[in-house]
């Protein structure tokens, strides 16, 4: 287990072409708000960290493919994925492996070219196979035990951004992505 956010090995980072994020517990704090409208319609709300979202966008700007794979279908997750412009795969029974196998085939990558940021046992079937295994600070022990890299922040509180920055830094792309962003937004 590696805990330094800047310590993703360059060789491993440079292999990555597809980055997968779990949602609940990784992009959120693992809590949900459940309620209903006045008409009795089910309502589920989630809190997403804005800086995490910028991190996912930075991966895209660097030329990487990004996908959300979650075992808890939610309209809030679908909306957030659409806002970020990332693929979103929501599976009812938490069987993530078939979905990720399809993603690997779709994007013509190998397991070693995939990174995943995870937090709990529903992620293990995928996490055990990917080339770069990453975990949020508050991940469960089975996930932490196999992680190559562990965030210093918990899920939903900047862990995803920390991972994105570390991955881009290891690929020597972080500064360029930031400068491109700043330059593009400095134009009238």
Phi first, then psi: what are they for 100, rounded to 5°? -70, -35
In this prediction, what percent of the chain has a pLDDT beyond 70?
97
Q: Does pLDDT of 168 surpass 60?
A: yes
For 151-163, what is the mean pLDDT? Answer: 98
Q: Which helix (H) or strand (E) holds 14?
A: helix 10-15
Q: What is the pLDDT of residues 11-57, one digit of tens each?
A: 999 999 999 999 999 999 999 999 999 999 988 899 999 999 999 99
Q: What is the pLDDT of residues 72-123, one digit of tens each?
A: 999 999 999 999 999 999 998 889 999 999 999 999 999 999 999 999 999 9
Q: What is the pLDDT of residues 62-76, one digit of tens each?
A: 999 999 999 999 999
* Contacts made by residues 98-104, CB under 8 angstroms, sequence distance 24+: 99/69, 100/20, 100/69, 100/126, 100/129, 103/18, 103/20, 103/67, 103/69, 104/18
For 155-184, what is the mean pLDDT? Answer: 96
**pLDDT confidence of 6, banded at 50, 70, 90?**
low
CA distance 104 to 52: 23
Beta strands in the chain (DSSP E): 18-21, 33-36, 42-45, 65-70, 87-90, 114-118, 132-135, 149-150
Q: Specify the pLDDT at position 184.
A: 84
Q: Does pLDDT of 151 surpass 70?
A: yes
Q: What is the pLDDT of residues 44-58, one digit of tens each?
A: 899 999 999 999 999
Q: Does pLDDT of 3 surpass 60?
A: no
Q: Specify the pLDDT at position 2.
A: 47
CATH class of 10-184: alpha beta
Q: Specify the pLDDT at position 185.
A: 84
For 168-187, what is the mean pLDDT? Answer: 93
Q: Is 137 in contact with 157 (CB distance < 8 Å)?
A: no
Both tokens of residue 15?
């292999």
pTM of structure: 0.93
Radius of gyration of the CA atoms of the chain, in A: 16
Sequence ranges of the domains in the chain: 10-184
């Amino acid at each position: 287990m590696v805990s330094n956010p800047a310590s993703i090995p360059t060789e491993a980072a440079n292999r990555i072409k597809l980055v997968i994020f779990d949602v609940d517990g990784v992009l959120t704090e693992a809590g949900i708000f459940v309620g209903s409208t006045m008409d009795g319609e089910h309502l589920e709300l989630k809190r997403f960290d804005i800086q995490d979202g910028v991190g996912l966008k930075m991966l895209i700007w660097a030329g990487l493919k990004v996908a959300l794979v979650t075992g808890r279908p939610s309209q809030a997750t679908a909306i957030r994925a659409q806002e970020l412009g990332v693929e979103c795969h929501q599976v009812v029974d938490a069987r993530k492996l078939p979905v990720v196998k399809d993603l690997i085939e779709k994007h013509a990558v190998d397991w070693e070219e995939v990174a995943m940021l995870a937090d709990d046992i529903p992620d293990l079937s995928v996490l055990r196979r990917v080339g770069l295994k990453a975990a949020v600070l508050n991940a469960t022990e089975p996930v932490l035990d196999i992680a190559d890299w562990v965030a210093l922040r918990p899920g939903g509180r900047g862990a995803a951004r920390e991972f994105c920055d570390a991955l881009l830094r290891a690929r020597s792309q972080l500064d360029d992505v930031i400068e491109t962003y700043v330059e593009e937004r400095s134009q009238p």
